[in-house]
Amino acid sequence: MKTKKIFKIVAFVLIGMIVTACGSNESYQNVDELITSVAPNVTEITVEELHQKLDAGEMIVLIDVREPNEFNPGYIPGATNIPRGLIEFNILNEPFWENQFLYPPLKTDEIVVYCKKGSRGLLAADVLQKFGFENVKYLKGGFKAWELAYPDEQLKNLEQVHDTGGEVGGC
């Protein structure tokens, strides 16, 4: 039974990759070009706007796309960690969300994604839009901007820090 489910997931991903590859002839010389091309399609939110929404108790799906070794030392309260490289695989994965004691987000839910400085968050927001999520934003300036604006409003998970490696993804 589990093998069938894995096969279906792999088949779905491969079909998606083929469709995407066949539908686009864009190429980029570097990541900055990719970010520049994606940015106009993605809505940003400032740390102040996010803070106001959280203080008002608005229902927001907050996703931190940094690697676990970046996430555990400090993150915005209420955030779920889904590393950028896994966002496509976990965003609609019910067992992943059950493991987080949460429900998978609905296509209409407000979703805010962030990384360390903003670029991975922007790319993740673009992917979520391509998955049909209608109300996705990325946090301008990322966790660094949050940390500077609200240094006392973050959670830490230091007992789960196993890897002391540096940041990932260059942003």
Could you give the residue numbers annotated as active site? 115
What residue type is 2 in one-letter code? K
Q: In whole angstroms, how far apart are CA 122 and each of 35, 80, 127?
A: 8, 16, 9
Q: For residue 99, with 0-12 CB atoms within 10 Å meaning exposed, 13-18 middle and 19 or more buried, which class applies? A: exposed
Residue 40 in tokens:
């106009």
> Phi-psi region for residue 38, left (φ > 0), alpha (ψ -120 to 50) or beta?
alpha
Among residues 2, 11, 42, 70, which one has the least CA distance to residue 139?
42
